[in-house]
Structure 1
Amino acid sequence: MPSQQAIDRALRQIAVDLSNTMPGEVQFQRLVAAIGSVLPCDAIALLHLQDGQLIPMASQGLAPELMGRRFDPAAHPRLAAIINSPTPVRFPADSTLPDPFDGLIATDADRALPVHACLGCALHVDAELVGALTLDALDEEAFDRIGDSTIAAFAALAAATLRNVALIRALEQASERQRAIARDLMQEAYRREGNLVGNSRAMRRLRQEIATVAATDLAVLITGETGTGKELVARTLHAQSSRSEQALVQINCAALPETVAESELFGHRKGAFTGATADRPGKFELAHGGSLFLDEIGELPLSLQAKLLRALQQGEIQRVGADEIIRVDVRIIAATNRDLQREVDAGRFRSDLYHRLHVYPVAVPPLREHREDLAVLAGHFLDLARHKLGLARVDLHPLALAALAAYDWPGNVRELEHLLLRASLKAMQRDPERTLIQPEDLGLGNGTTARTETTAAPQATPTDSLPLRQAIDAFQAQRIAAALAACDGNWSQAARQLGIDRANLQRLARRLGIGS
């Protein structure tokens, strides 16, 4: 009979293991090893009840093949008796009930010896049956001097271990589901809005900048005019980073009322202010392990900039109304259409925060600086419009494309997207069978903004004064020349940009008087 001191020591070890982080299999095996070290048995099995089946989680002294088996209590009367009893069950040596572990004692090389002493206890957590603990011995008197209270104490800790590991696994599965959902949402966003579109030199340079910084954890400040696609750049950067499996959490600083901005960023405790009816994590906590996209960072109130700076410098946040410090691991991506250096000079933005965010600046070019991407951008947005409006196809008349090329795009790519969606709707209403966008569908009229810069490409723009054939030829010549200029005279690249076979492109260029 083990001493009470040895039993207490084993119970303490199991209790300590419950509070430590370790794989479930290790925790189960340590549990049965602790029990086996003090109780006089030849074999122990810890079984978990799942879908009506008892599944071995760990064993000691039993044949290794036991771990691959499942036990239906309906087919094993001893196991059924154990799980249906509120107290430990001891089976007499001459019991006629078959023992599920007969011939499975590991020390029995011939796998022929029957179990002579069998004891088992149902495992409950909050009155819920979660499994069973069984002890077997070849000596039929092995368990005579072990009290039910000792067995019950080990059983209680075994039940807690089963539930603890099950909860941890459930949390891990929930976390994995959240990561899967985040991945699906990112993929859906790319399907909906696409990747960075365009093959111009400016867009190639932008993609190169993103690829360079994405592999690091450096803070990135994305600058650019309204509508240039800063949000898409942020998502692309996150998707190419080592944090892509984690969440990209976005917050629009311009839409944050100052009264709730701190709570949105850092969270709050229940009762911290009127309306705080429950604890709530902020965006920093939600982005832990991933990226936090601070859109329109230039609009963040000065009163919050110091607290944001602390979070960036130390990786620490504090919920509103709470005393404890929470450590967070977040990659910061910020975006603004303001000149933050000018805001710093004017005293509207903290200099130290600006330099903390400005570790790696990425400038998104306005559309007027990569006009050669207009055709491919138009095709991309027309395809989106086709899906949204349920159309088989949407086409753009060459004169309409010429009108787009002559416009200066103060609203940049976003303006182009919205304009083409409206134009598609107008063209569909005019002729549902043939959705062809005409110049008048664009709504640019005589208000088309004149181009403010000159380029090396020919500037022949079709006008209503030219016959249609000449207008189309002039426009095609302009597009081919612009594509060649963007691709440094590489005909293969220009053909890919224009979506045309290289041989066909060269034949068309010769007809239009462009040398090849």
Structure 2
Amino acid sequence: MNQQFNLTQVALELAQSTLHEHSFDQLLATVERVIPSDASALLVVQGEQLKPLAIKGLMPDSLGRRFKIAEHPRLKAICSASHALQFAHDCSLPDPYDGLLLAKTGDIPVHACLGLPLYDKNALLGVLTFDSLNANAFSSISMDTLSTLQTLCSAHFKTALELAHYKHHAQHSSALVQELMRDALTRDGGEIIGQSPVIQTLKNEIKLVAASNFSVLVLGETGVGKELVARNIHLNSARKDQPLIHLNCASLPENLAESEFFGHAKGAFTGAQNARQGKFQLADGGTLFLDEIGELPLAMQSKLLRVLQSGEIQTVGEDTPKYVDVRVVAATNRDLKHEVAQGRFRADLYHRLSVYPITVPPLNKREHDITLLAGYFIEQTARKLGIKQLKLSTEAQALLNQYSWPGNVRELEHVISRSALKAKQSQWQNPIVTITSEHCDLTPQLSNTVQVNTQNTIHTAWNQPLKQAVESLQFTVITEQLKQHNYNWAATARVLELDRANLVRLAKRLGIEVKKTI
């Protein structure tokens, strides 16, 4: 009756200690109530050896030992058994704990020894061992009690091992993600390069607003570095160790926008074969950067407003709302006040996003920064192209400083890349490669295309088969519109009255590609 009571207590205590930080020690201490001993140990199977996870009554260094199963006959016998195994008090097999008992130095005299193999189905997970200097210590414990105890301990041990495994990998993954995220945020573009007065003002504004939890609206022309500003706001905030998640609103298909923002449950719609977290869930505790916010469909604007007001999100396909703690930094090259006046952007959302607006100055307003930025991009490009030393001639510097830079910092980066490649080709034998003004092509180009005169193309089309003539005209119209809209696909699609995704596919078929480099 006492054993039955003890087993009930064991079951309750094991159930309560499943999530305990020291669950292995708890397991051993709980079992000791049923099987009192002078020394006990819980060991896990690791290949061909047993590793102690918890001990009682053994020398502290026992935890550092690894017992090769083949070299310890008693442990080998326990591992080969299907049920509890008790050794005769006068068993001649050597004991693996000889000299390790705290209660006794030297060889263990005649004593009782009991082993309990722990299984998950037919797979051996580990063993429990018990030693007592009392030769008859375990004689009164029935096999039924040992069998029940084995079942309880096996189930608990399996759960404890799995939780320890998941916890280890979760901690490792979390540390790894933080390290990779920090590295990604600071490598190749983490710093805002420049010493001009407008950039100094921008840096001061970033530090000021980063310390708060306000929503920030980053304004500026295409290519000025709005994403870089968002990264610096995050890196200077209290959320810097949490995720910074990026979402380009211009690339969102309208029918999937809600899922991208808030996630979806399995089976929420056709094709939703698995549950998926949205960007708000991924950014919980951190920052969500919404690029090209001016392209967000009106239907999504109202749902975004609700999140900004209450922190409440509704996963597609689920009834229960969730709450997230996310700081939103949005960016746009549009005049949102004008968009509001035209009814294309919600006024209430605009005011929610622009609690603290920051305007990033265009490159032609950043006096003396062009040379600094050129030096930064030259160093990056030299590494990418394997050039030991790459420099910019005085004439090239003057040419870069005189240019108006309609494509801003992004255009400067691309010009340096193209110029370096040309300079390397013409000076491949030189230890120092110099970019000269001849290498600097300051006309924006679409990759894989050439500048085409529209009228010439139309005249040429008359002498082509219809299919080629149509493709030539499509090629010219798309490339011209892309150039006029700073290579922005969404803006070009609106002008051409096409779906953005369809436009990109058509352009790809025609050999048109806009390359963006980060």
Do Structure 1 and Structure 2 share a fold, with TM-score over 0.5? yes
Render the CA deviation track for 1:320-375: whole Å, top value 9, x for unaligned. Answer: 11234444343332222223344344433334433433343333221122121111
Please point out which of 232, 239, 244 is paired with 2:235: 239
Shift of the 178–27 alpha-carbon distance from structure 1 to 2, 3 Å rule, reads closer
In structure 2, the CA distance between the partners of 1:184 and 1:273, relative to structure 1 (3 Å rule), is same
Confirm whether residue 32 of structure 1 aligns to residue 28 of structure 2: yes
Compare 366-375 and 47-56 and name the one that shifted more.
Answer: 47-56
Q: 2:163 — aligned with what?
A: 168
SS state of the match for residue 153, structure 2?
Answer: helix
Bigger mean CA offset, 63-72 vs 41-50: 63-72
Q: Which amino acid aligns with 2:125?
A: V
TM-score normalized by the length of structure 1: 0.77
CA shift in 2, pair 1:271/1:389, >3 Å: same
1:5 aligned partner: 5
SS in 2 for 1:279: coil
RMSD after superposition: 2.8
Moved more, 341-350 or 407-416: 341-350
Change in 2 beyond 3 A, CA 1:288/1:158: farther
- Distance in 1 between residues matched to 2:148 and 2:349, nearest whole Å: 57
Q: Structure 2: 5+ residue runs without aligned partners?
A: 444-518
Alignment of 1:248 onto 2:235: no
Aligned residue in 2 for 1:366:
362
Distance 2:260 2:243 in 1: 17
In the superposition, the TM-score normalised over structure 2's length comes to 0.76
Conserved 8 A contact 1:133-1:155: no
Q: Distance in 2 between matches of 1:329 and 1:441?
A: 50
The 8 Å contact of residues 248 and 293 in structure 1, kept in 2 or not, is answered as yes
Specify the alignment match of 1:442 in structure 2. Answer: 440
Contact 2:396-2:440 at 8 Å conserved across structures = yes
Does the 8 Å CA contact 1:56/1:69 hold for their aligned counterparts? yes
State how far apart, in whole Å, the 2-side matches of 1:28 and 1:313 are.
46
The corresponding residue for 1:486 is: none
Instruction: Flag structure 1 segments of 5+ consecutive residues without an equivalent.
Output: 446-516
Q: Deviations over 1:444-495 (max 9, x none)?
A: 48xxxxxxxxxxxxxxxxxxxxxxxxxxxxxxxxxxxxxxxxxxxxxxxxxx
Q: Assess if the C-alpha contact under 8 Å between 1:229 and 1:413 holds in 2.
A: yes
Matches within 5 A, 1:252-291: 252-291=248-287
In the alignment, is the contact (CA less than 8 A) between 2:41 and 2:54 conserved in 1? yes
* Contact 1:197 1:376 (8 Å CA) reproduced: yes
Confirm whether residue 100 of structure 1 aligns to residue 110 of structure 2. Answer: no
Contact 2:216 2:328 in 1 (8 A): yes
Question: Matches of 1:285 and 1:315 in 2, distance apart?
Answer: 11
Q: Which whole-Å deviations, capped at 9, do the CAs of 1:249-281 have from their partners, x for residues lacking one? A: 211111101111111122222222122122222
Aligned to 1:152: 147
Matched residues, number:
440
Identity of aligned residues (%): 46
Residues 147, 209 of structure 1: alpha-carbon distance in 2 compared, 3 angstrom cutoff: farther
Contact 1:221 1:359 in 2 (8 A): yes
Counterpart in the other structure of 1:494: none
2: CA distance, partners of 1:366 / 1:52: 66
The aligned counterpart of 1:46 is: 42
8 Å contact kept, 1:103–1:114:
no
SS at match of 2:81: coil
Query: Aligned in 2, Cα 1:409/1:16: closer, same or farther, shift over 3 Å?
Result: same
In 2, Cα distance between the equivalents of 1:141 and 1:312?
Answer: 71
**Aligned-partner SS, 1:348:** coil
1:14 lines up with 2:28 in the alignment: no
2:85 to 80, 84, 89: 89
Q: Distance in 2 between matches of 1:200 and 1:160?
A: 67
Alpha-carbon separation, structure 1, partners of 2:218 and 2:121: 53
Is residue 295 of structure 2 the alignment partner of residue 299 of structure 1? yes
User: Among 350, 357, 366, which residue is 1:354 paired with?
Assistant: 350
Residue of 110, 130, 136 corresponding to 1:135: 130
Report the AA paired with residue 437 of structure 1.
I
Q: What residue is the counterpart of 2:173 in the other structure?
A: 177
C-alpha separation in 2, matches of 1:153 and 1:220: 62
Give the Cα separation in 1 of the matches to 2:268 and 2:226.
35
Give yes or no for contact 2:405–2:411 (8 Å, CA) kept in 1.
Answer: yes
The offset of 1:110, in angstroms, is 5.4
Pair 1:425-2:421 in alignment: yes
Q: In the alignment, is the contact (CA less than 8 A) between 2:38 and 2:133 conserved in 1?
A: yes
Quote the offset at 1:229 in angstroms.
0.7
CA offset digits 1:165-207 (Å, max 9, x no partner): 4333433443323542553355256443352111222222222
Contact 1:254-1:299 at 8 Å conserved across structures? yes
Aligned to 1:402: 398
SS at match of 2:92: coil
Identify the match of residue 109 of structure 2 among 94, 114, 131: 114
**Structure 1 moving runs of 4+ over 6 Å:** none
